[in-house]
Structure 1
Amino acid sequence: MSAAHTGVPAPVPAPLDTRMPTPVPVEEHEACPVSDVLRRIGDKWSVLVIVLLGQRRHRFNELHRGIEGISQRMLTRTLRGLEVDGLVHREVFPTVPPSVEYSLTPLGRTLLEPLSALAGWAVEHHGAIERSRRAHAGAADRDGG
């Protein structure tokens, strides 16, 4: 019996099990949900902000002091982007001056597990990646570029 006849939906293939066209059209790559999310979390600061907010709520200045090297402007842009994507909640308190706290949304919290898996993979394989980079750099030096 087919899924259409049982009322049970057919399983959706995992993204890595999906056959990709060759060549991959630019429009398809740009519209891909995976590419879209990786563009957001693949920037220099987003993962760090998500991890810090995964620990607890933070005020803007706490985050700014807690991330060495990030400018106020870049932290503001990062938080806005994460807020627009529904990953971060911004709450303004009616104090003088107003205080603002940031926290992860329920959607943002769902990102912690896959980020943790990626971090575990990176830590486990970092040595092998570094060895490969050194080997390739040495080969490029011997080959003249």
Structure 2
Amino acid sequence: MIWTVYLSGEIHTDWREQIIQQCAERELPVEFTSAVTNHERSDAAGDCLGPEALPFWRDHKSAKVNGIRTQTLLETCDIAVVRFGDKYKQWNAAFDAGFCAAMGKPYITLHDEDLVHPLKEVDAAAMAWAKSVDQVVDVLAYVTSSR
């Protein structure tokens, strides 16, 4: 079986590339999907539907267009990894985790210890909390292997 892993959350570091590289090095049977990680492109996702006078409506349209991708990929993945960074608030990541929890979709949270308290509900519904990319890859190696 090839597992589909959805990578959600923080877009300002290379954690996604690290997970993908380490999984490839370990020859894990996984493929990856993700939201659009180019901030400007994501913000402009709804621009194809016409201009808006107010920023709220531009954001609203773009959120819905982005939601088509996010919802579809979360519904079809086998497991999600939800990364919370320390520099920005990742409301989208919290939303993705809640969506996974509501669907009964397993997910792993990835964040530093200083976010344990603010993310207590998100972590409570997660199947695992990882503090490093290495831990995420170790979990993926375990769950994808029958050996």
Q: TM-score, normalised by structure 2?
A: 0.24
Query: Which protein is bigger by CA-based radius of gyration?
Result: 1
> Does 1 or 2 have the higher relative contact order (CA < 8 Å, sep 6+)?
2
